[in-house]
A and B are shown apart, each in its own frame.
Chain A
């Protein structure tokens, strides 16, 4: 309390503003958590904003049993993990050729890859749909892994290039003198040193794929391959009037991202902002 009395009016306004905004950001999320554990009776009647009176965990089992939520969840996991793997491997290989190797047209090729940063995904939506249809790949995990990794590639290369320029070339030179081949240099020297960069790219790709809606709702409509975002969008049709299970579904889709953020908040933030500052 002593400290508070020392606050100048300007400072007080600052704290007020920051706290008000924190409240505006957090309250809807708190509210989502509470209604995921309530019955309609509570939400619309006696207790719309308080903590649940009896915690209705059955909303969660309900959504798993009646809305294939577990299938959607694992589809999202499979698609996301596969995309991260493809982006990391392809991106690292390209970055190595684009930065460490010596060849004509390297600079132009770098610019070419950076084109992907500004092209809206809507340009690819229909043509890729036609390609996937003709290759009989619609409604498969691959139908999402392919566009997801392609659209994450440019940002991954941008991030990798930023990191690799901080690695001194002496290591490669001495490995080369020891008779290490170019593939040996890549796998034994560059890749291990680039682990922090790969984790940043992985987080970035994870958030993109896990939260993606447009490709997912167009290419993987069959419920066996549906991802969690599409499942959530369509939940309103199924639980038209029941809010509890819808809240439970929203929580299920949010938990992995929130958990990642709680554990690695600095890394998550820098993975999303890095591209903006460098590009």
Chain B
């Protein structure tokens, strides 16, 4: 058996196709991007090596800094609005309601739809004669005619709403399966002790969900950095980069007239670095917390 299973030639044959594909499309391009980012290049003329000049320009560019800030605002909105809402919905569903299956099914529908479709749909909701203005008119504001996506102040919030709206169901499902995997005995014990819904949630369910919450926060934050489709379809970063994010700026820098491949690659590297740093930072934050959490728990036990 071992002899058959350690056939070196077979290992190579089984591994080679995926290895070549993986290296060619994912690993090597990172090094290529890093190389391009040190040059001035438009894809046709010869590359000119300019050292770290692109990065200097990047971090003194108001548009890039603005787009980075916008991406961070989206991330913060996800963590502060989307995740608590998802958690609340998951807690309600897992508490045992009629139509549990129905709600889970419905909440997950937007997750599977193309972001382009959702973008086109919300562009129409935000239209001057769209659903939102119709709704405001029905509420009494007779001449509601705001072009939500066109306003300097309204563009970014208007883009954020569908971004959050689309993935509430995803995080809800993560939380829900987390709650379901908690031993039922604990909940029964809490019930016997007469703990209320809120008390059970805050002292049992949410602390035990911590690992899942960490996964959700990481996904939401790093995912926000990579948001592209919805912004592209809704505003393409406009008006005047009011809703610009790193990815839309990157694509425009590379593939629109001017073709600044070198400068765009510097943005790509900055994006990878940012995602990586956020991973590390979140990992550190989550690792520190348990120590702080453990102490009050112990105190409570000894007090009881």
- Residues of chain A having any CB pair with chain B under 8 Å: 10-11, 14-15, 17-18, 21-22, 24-26, 28-29, 31-32, 35, 43-44, 48-49, 86, 89-91, 93-94, 96-98, 100-103, 109, 113, 115-116, 118-128, 130-131, 146-147, 149-151, 153-154, 157, 172-173, 176-177, 181-183, 185-186, 207, 210-211, 213-214, 218, 229, 232-233, 235-236, 243, 246, 250, 253-254, 257-258, 260-261, 265, 268-269, 272-273, 276-277
Q: If the complex has contacts A127-B32, A211-B115, A211-B116, are A96 and B229 also in contact, measured as CB distance less than 8 A?
A: no
Contacts of B250 in A (CB 8 A): 122, 125
Contacts of B102 in A (CB 8 A): 22
Contacts of B219 in A (CB 8 A): 276
Distance (whole angstroms) from the CB of B172 to the closest CB of chain A: 9
| Contact of B112 with A127 in the complex, beta carbons under 8 Å | no
Closest A-B pairs by Cβ, 7 of them: A150-B25, A127-B29, A211-B114, A97-B14, A127-B32, A90-B18, A94-B18
A-B residue pair count with CB separations less than 8 angstroms: 256
Contacts of B18 in A (CB 8 A): 90-91, 93-94, 113, 153, 157
| Contact of A232 with B122 in the complex, beta carbons under 8 Å | no
Distance (whole angstroms) from the CB of B290 to the closest CB of chain A: 20
Contacts of B104 in A (CB 8 A): 269
Any A CB within 8 A of the CB of B264: yes
How far, in whole Å, are A35 and B168 apart by their CA atoms in the complex? 25
How far, in whole Å, are A77 and B136 apart by their CA atoms in the complex? 40
| Contact of B24 with A150 in the complex, beta carbons under 8 Å | yes
Any A CB within 8 A of the CB of B95: yes
Distance (whole angstroms) from the CB of B109 to the closest CB of chain A: 6
- Residues of chain B having any CB pair with chain A under 8 Å: 1-2, 4-8, 10-11, 13-15, 17-19, 21-22, 24-30, 32-33, 36, 43, 85, 88-89, 92-93, 95, 97, 102-117, 119-125, 129, 131, 134, 165, 168-170, 173-174, 177, 197, 212, 215, 219, 222, 225-226, 228-229, 232-233, 247, 250-251, 254-255, 261, 264-265, 268-269, 271-272, 275-276, 279
Q: If the complex has contacts A26-B106, A26-B109, A233-B233, are A119 and B30 also in contact, measured as CB distance less than 8 A?
A: yes
| Contact of A250 with B117 in the complex, beta carbons under 8 Å | yes
Q: If the complex has contacts A182-B10, A211-B115, A214-B228, are A18 and B21 also in contact, measured as CB distance less than 8 A?
A: no
| Contact of B121 with A182 in the complex, beta carbons under 8 Å | no
How far, in whole Å, are A31 and B25 apart by their CA atoms in the complex? 40
Contacts of A186 in B (CB 8 A): 14
Checking B17, B22, B115, B275 against A213 with a beta-carbon cut-off of 8 angstroms, the contacting residue is: B115
| Contact of B2 with A102 in the complex, beta carbons under 8 Å | yes
Checking A28, A121, A268 against B131 with a beta-carbon cut-off of 8 angstroms, the contacting residue is: A28
How far, in whole Å, are A238 and B232 apart by their CA atoms in the complex? 17
* 28 chain-A/chain-B pairs, Cβ below 8 angstroms: A10-B197, A18-B97, A21-B89, A22-B102, A25-B107, A25-B165, A48-B129, A94-B17, A100-B5, A120-B271, A121-B226, A123-B30, A126-B29, A126-B261, A126-B264, A182-B5, A213-B115, A229-B114, A232-B116, A250-B117, A250-B120, A253-B117, A257-B113, A258-B112, A272-B170, A273-B170, A273-B177, A276-B174
How far, in whole Å, are A109 and B22 apart by their CA atoms in the complex? 12
Contacts of A31 in B (CB 8 A): 121, 125, 131
| Contact of B15 with A18 in the complex, beta carbons under 8 Å | no
Contacts of A213 in B (CB 8 A): 114-116, 228-229, 232
Interface-central residue, A100, A128, A172, by most chain B CB under 10 Å: A128
Q: If the complex has contacts A120-B226, A182-B4, are A29 and B109 also in contact, measured as CB distance less than 8 A?
A: yes
Secondary structure dominating the interface of B: helix
| Contact of B112 with A207 in the complex, beta carbons under 8 Å | yes
Q: If the complex has contacts A120-B226, A211-B116, A229-B116, are A153 and B29 also in contact, measured as CB distance less than 8 A?
A: no
| Contact of A173 with B125 in the complex, beta carbons under 8 Å | no
Distance (whole angstroms) from the CB of B148 to the closest CB of chain A: 14
Checking A103, A150, A253 against B116 with a beta-carbon cut-off of 8 angstroms, the contacting residue is: A253
Checking B2, B25, B232 against A124 with a beta-carbon cut-off of 8 angstroms, the contacting residue is: B25
Q: If the complex has contacts A31-B131, A103-B6, A128-B29, are A122 and B247 also in contact, measured as CB distance less than 8 A?
A: yes
Distance (whole angstroms) from the CB of A4 to the closest CB of chain B: 11
Distance (whole angstroms) from the CB of B34 to the closest CB of chain A: 9
How far, in whole Å, are A258 and B173 apart by their CA atoms in the complex? 18
Distance (whole angstroms) from the CB of A16 to the closest CB of chain B: 10
| Contact of A118 with B275 in the complex, beta carbons under 8 Å | yes
Q: If the complex has contacts A103-B8, A181-B4, are A115 and B26 also in contact, measured as CB distance less than 8 A?
A: yes
| Contact of B106 with A123 in the complex, beta carbons under 8 Å | no
Contacts of B36 in A (CB 8 A): 126-127
| Contact of A269 with B108 in the complex, beta carbons under 8 Å | yes
Checking B15, B25, B43 against A130 with a beta-carbon cut-off of 8 angstroms, the contacting residue is: B43
Distance (whole angstroms) from the CB of B227 to the closest CB of chain A: 11
- CB closest residue in chain A, given B264: A126
| Contact of B107 with A126 in the complex, beta carbons under 8 Å | no
Distance (whole angstroms) from the CB of B229 to the closest CB of chain A: 5
| Contact of A218 with B25 in the complex, beta carbons under 8 Å | no
How far, in whole Å, are A207 and B112 apart by their CA atoms in the complex? 7
How far, in whole Å, are A163 and B103 apart by their CA atoms in the complex? 28
Checking B14, B29, B97 against A101 with a beta-carbon cut-off of 8 angstroms, the contacting residue is: B14
- CB closest residue in chain A, given B198: A10
How far, in whole Å, are A22 and B93 apart by their CA atoms in the complex? 12
